[in-house]
Amino acid sequence: MTSFFLSPAFFDQAVLGITPILLAALAGTLSERVGLFNIALEGQMLVGAFAAVAGSHFTGSLAGGVLMAVVASTLFSGLLAFGSAILRGNDIVIGISLNLLAAGLTSFLLRSLLGVSGTFSDSAMAGLTRLHIPGLADLPVIGRALGEQNPLVYLSWLLVAAIAIFLAYTPWGLRVRGIGEQADAAVTLGANAVRYRIAVTLAGGALCGLAGLQLSLGSLTLFSENMTAGRGWIAVAAVMLGRARPLPVAAACVLFGIADALGLKLQGEGLPNQITDSAPYVVTLIALVVAGLRQKIDGRKLSV
């Protein structure tokens, strides 16, 4: 039973599962701290995943795929910035609309640009190559998971630290937090709330582009319709569970990534995929219920 969980393949799959959720959750964290509830993470990731494959296919280079993923997802997030920050529309309505738009748009472009439906794969496309870090890669069991990953995996954790420092210690980060907590007070101090919300939303779009890139060119080189499979919603749950703080959000992403790897492991043991695919969502639901109960208990203690 121990070897079932403590295997190199399990930890490797867990790390791969954590990365796209973590990148999207960081985007959601930034949006939440500036006062914008971003539930369009799913659609932004999906656009990034498609653009990565299309860019790599048409340019014949990995760099083209990376550039297209970031640019396309950033431009797509501009719709959220325009609707929410400029027009002051409802974040929830705009986010759901963008998720639906992304699903339909990527399916349409898959047929019109790449000439296929369902799944597109090109053996000539270059995926993200794995690095080899001496010392870490030589560790037993977890060596491959920690020391032999693609650069995006390591970048995601560097971004956790960078965003935590940005929000806590830089003037721009403090303004972002001030706008999210007390927008009127921040404005009286000279902060332009609209500009900050636009900038943060676009930066989040770039992060979601990287998340989509990890999905389509990270371990496999393909795109399939709706391949995000709810990971954007899990990222939203991670933001809520971590209360939009980078380190707790990252911890929540680790939990969900392990649950994803567990589902794949159980599927390999013969369980129906309908059951194993639900594992991350069951863990997400349980975590949100526990967090809600904890918040309720804390509220009662404060009122006593």
Residue 272: inside a domain: no
Residue 277: inside a domain: no
Bridge partners of residue 222, in order along the sequence: 121
Best CA proximity match to 130, nearest among 116, 120, 144, 119: 144
* Residues 6+ away with beta carbon under 8 Å from 195: none
Residue 265: inside a domain: no
pLDDT at 223 > cutoff 60: yes
Rounded-to-integer distance, Cα 53 and Cα 75, Å: 17
Q: Are 251 and 172 in contact (CB under 8 A)?
A: no
The answer to which of 118-127, 254-263, 265-274 has the lowest mean pLDDT is: 265-274
Rounded-to-integer distance, Cα 292 and Cα 280, Å: 18
Best CA proximity match to 202, nearest among 30, 23, 33: 30
Per the structure, the complete domain to which residue 13 belongs is given by 2-229
What is the token pair recorded at 273?
A: 């995929």
- pLDDT category at 302 given cuts 50, 70, 90 is very low
What is the model's pLDDT at position 206? 97
Residue 235: inside a domain: no
What is the model's pLDDT at position 303? 53
Residue where the block lists tokens 């325009």: 82
**Given phi > 0 = left and psi -120 to 50 = alpha, else beta, which region is 224?**
beta
What is the model's pLDDT at position 290? 73
What is the model's pLDDT at position 141? 84
Residue where the block lists tokens 């060596």: 143
- pLDDT category at 263 given cuts 50, 70, 90 is confident
Bridge partners of residue 121, in order along the sequence: 222
What is the model's pLDDT at position 5? 61
Residue 121: inside a domain: yes
pLDDT at 46 > cutoff 80: yes
Residue 273: inside a domain: no
What is the model's pLDDT at position 80? 95
- pLDDT category at 270 given cuts 50, 70, 90 is low
* Residues 6+ away with beta carbon under 8 Å from 172: 166
Which is higher by pLDDT, 51 or 185? 51
What is the model's pLDDT at position 1? 47
Number of H helices, E strands in the chain: 14, 2
Structural domain total, the chain: 1
**Given phi > 0 = left and psi -120 to 50 = alpha, else beta, which region is 226?**
left
User: What secondary structure letter does DSSP report for 88?
Assistant: -
Average pLDDT of the residues in 163-188: 88
- pLDDT category at 295 given cuts 50, 70, 90 is low
pLDDT at 208 > cutoff 80: yes
pTM score above 0.85: yes
Average pLDDT of the residues in 39-60: 94
- The top-scoring range by mean pLDDT among 42-46, 182-186, 232-236 is 42-46
- pLDDT category at 122 given cuts 50, 70, 90 is confident
Average pLDDT of the residues in 232-236: 92
Length of the chain: 304
Rounded-to-integer distance, Cα 3 and Cα 1, Å: 5
**Residue 179, CA distances (Å) to 77, 94, 140 in order:** 20, 20, 47
The answer to which of 161-165, 176-180, 190-194 has the lowest mean pLDDT is: 190-194
Residue 281: inside a domain: no
Residue 107: Cβ within 10 Å count: 16
What is the model's pLDDT at position 268? 65
